[in-house]
Amino acid sequence: MTPPLLGPDGNPLPVPNPATNPDAARGPSLHVDSDWKAQAQAEKERLAKLEEERAKSEPGRGPGGAQGPNGEEFPPADFRSLVGVLASQAMMGLGAYGDEQGRMIVDLPGAQFAIDLLAVLEEKTKGNLSADESTHLTMLVGELRSRYVQLMTIVAQQMQAKAGGAAALRGPGAPPPFPR
C-alpha cells in the first residue's frame, strides 16, 4: 500500500474515486489557453531573433561561444573568459586541482607566471575596462597573490621542519648533508 499524498498543511489529500466522479478516471488534466501559448511562442521567437542579432554583431561568439569538434560548447570569447583561463592556470599551480589519484599537485613557478600575466593584463588594460571588469581583475589578482604567499609560507615551514629533522637525525657536530 502506498502512503497517502500530503497537502501543504500536512494533511492527506483526498483520493479521487472513479465510481463517484467520472473525471477522476481520466486523471488530472491541465488546461492551457491558446493566448498563453501564443505569448510563449512570440517570446521564444523574439529571444531567438535577439540571439541571432547578437551573434552577427559579435563575430566568433555564438549563443554560448564556440563549439569544439565533439560538440562541446565553450564559454564566450570575452575578457572575463580570458581572465578565467589565466586564473584557472594559477589555481592549478597552487594545488587547487588534483591528479587522477587525488594527489595535490603544486607548481609554484607556473602559478607565479599565471599570476604575473594577470597583473600585466591588469596594468596594460587600466582605464580601458568597465568598472565591473576592473574590480573583478583587481580582486582576483589580490586573492591569487594572497594564496600564493600562504602556500609559499607553508612550503618554507615544511622545508625548515624537514631540515631540522634531518639535522637531529645526523646528530650534533655532523657535517651538513650538502656541501656549501
**Position 113 in a domain:** yes
**Position 16 in a domain:** no
| Domain range enclosing 102 | 79-168
Q: 68-114: per-residue pLDDT in tens?
A: 777 788 888 889 999 999 999 999 999 888 788 888 888 999 999 99
pLDDT at 173 (0 to 100): 57
Q: pTM (2 decimals)?
A: 0.54
Burial of 138 from C-beta contacts in 10 A (0-12 / 13-18 / 19+): middle
Cell of 177: 648533508
Report how far residue 61's alpha carbon sits from residue 117's, in angstroms, rounded to the nearest whole number.
24
**Position 14 in a domain:** no
**Position 51 in a domain:** no
pLDDT at 99 (0 to 100): 80
- Mean pLDDT for the chain overall: 77
Q: Please state the domain count of the chain.
A: 1
Report how far residue 89's alpha carbon sits from residue 144's, in angstroms, rounded to the nearest whole number.
11
**Position 97 in a domain:** yes
- Mean pLDDT throughout 24-35? 56
180 falls in which pLDDT band (50, 70, 90)? Answer: very low
Report how far residue 90's alpha carbon sits from residue 118's, in angstroms, rounded to the nearest whole number.
9
**Position 119 in a domain:** yes
> Is the pLDDT assigned to residue 24 strictly greater than 60?
no
**Position 9 in a domain:** no
Cell match 609554484: residue?
Answer: 108
